Amino acid sequence: MTGFLTLLRKELLRFVKVSVQTIAAPILTALLYLLIFSQALGDRVQVFGQIGYTSFLVPGLVMMSVLQNSFANASSSLIQSKVTGNIVFVLLPPLSHWELYGAYVLASMVRGMTVGFGVFVFTVWFAQVPFAQPLWIVAFALLGSAILGTMGLIAGVWAEKFDQIAAFQNFIIMPLTFLAGVFYSVKSLPGFWQVLSHLNPFFYMVDGFRHGFFGVSDVAPETSFLIVLSSLLVVAAIALRQLATGYKLRL
């Protein structure tokens, strides 16, 4: 386990040492989203019954921060290592593809959860947010961060330059996140857009996570959990295959 723990420590130190950029900045961004949307739409958007719009926003912003920062951690680490050439120091030690996967994804989960917790601590002052079913909160936060950490790993292995990582994030991760019901309930959408939203796996992460706070959601949490878990198995299989074959890592 020495190699795995060393790589994990390296990945954790990598984002901790620049915490203003990797932790503080995303928290500030989420806080600005909360202030702007709650002021602009607070009296106009109707969500689950008696739940206020500002309260509704808090879990969505927390989960959005968890997902985006989990992806950013693994993807940026790998592309930087590939571009600078120091990826060789990760590949030379006798680390299995399971150890590589575990270290990168676990570090991504830690960053995502850290940012998410920070967002919650600062945004909860603006709204009353209950904890109806805490186990669902933990389950979806862990699964969501693992999925996006794995997707970051896939993107980092696939990409050969920073532009490709930026494209992956801007054209895949960002749209799927913003269209996952972070700022609205999908039940308020027209029929066609509701169907389209249900094809987005990110929607189930956000909806299940929000259910843990309020006890209500657009989809049953058991259904969301199965879909999210299945999504994790799929992306994990892809990432492990990449690492096992040395795809775009070994010449």
- At 80-108, the pLDDT tens digits run 999 998 899 999 999 999 999 999 999 99
Q: Provide the pLDDT for residue 22.
A: 96
User: pLDDT per residue over 134-154, tens digit each?
Assistant: 999 999 999 999 999 999 999
More confident residue, 193 or 65: 65
Contacts 24+ apart (CB under 8 A), 119-124: 119/26, 119/27, 119/30, 119/31, 119/61, 119/62, 119/65, 120/58, 120/62, 122/27, 122/30, 122/31, 123/30, 123/31, 123/34, 123/57, 123/58, 123/61, 123/62, 124/58
Other beta carbons within 10 Å of 21: 10
Q: Is the pLDDT of residue 120 over 60?
A: yes
Q: Is the pLDDT of residue 251 over 60?
A: no
* pTM metric for this prediction: 0.94
Residue in the block written with tokens 């259910």: 211
Q: Do the Cβ atoms of 212 and 110 come closer than 8 Å?
A: no
Q: What are the angstrom distances between the C-alpha of 102 and each of 13, 56, 62?
A: 16, 33, 24
Q: What are the angstrom distances between the C-alpha of 206 and each of 65, 89, 95, 174, 247?
A: 11, 37, 34, 14, 32
Q: Provide the pLDDT for residue 101.
A: 97
Q: Do the Cβ atoms of 149 and 73 come closer than 8 Å?
A: yes
Mean pLDDT of 24-47: 83
Mean pLDDT of 39-57: 74
Q: Provide the pLDDT for residue 43.
A: 62
Q: Provide the pLDDT for residue 192.
A: 86
Q: Is the pLDDT of residue 185 over 60?
A: yes
User: pLDDT per residue over 189-245, tens digit each?
Assistant: 888 888 989 999 999 999 999 999 999 888 999 999 999 999 999 999 999 999 999
Q: Provide the pLDDT for residue 183.
A: 87
User: pLDDT per residue over 160-184, tens digit each?
Assistant: 999 999 999 999 999 999 999 898 8
Mean pLDDT of 119-137: 92
Tokens of 72: 């950013």
Mean pLDDT of 116-133: 92
Q: Provide the pLDDT for residue 186.
A: 84
Q: Is the pLDDT of residue 44 over 70?
A: no
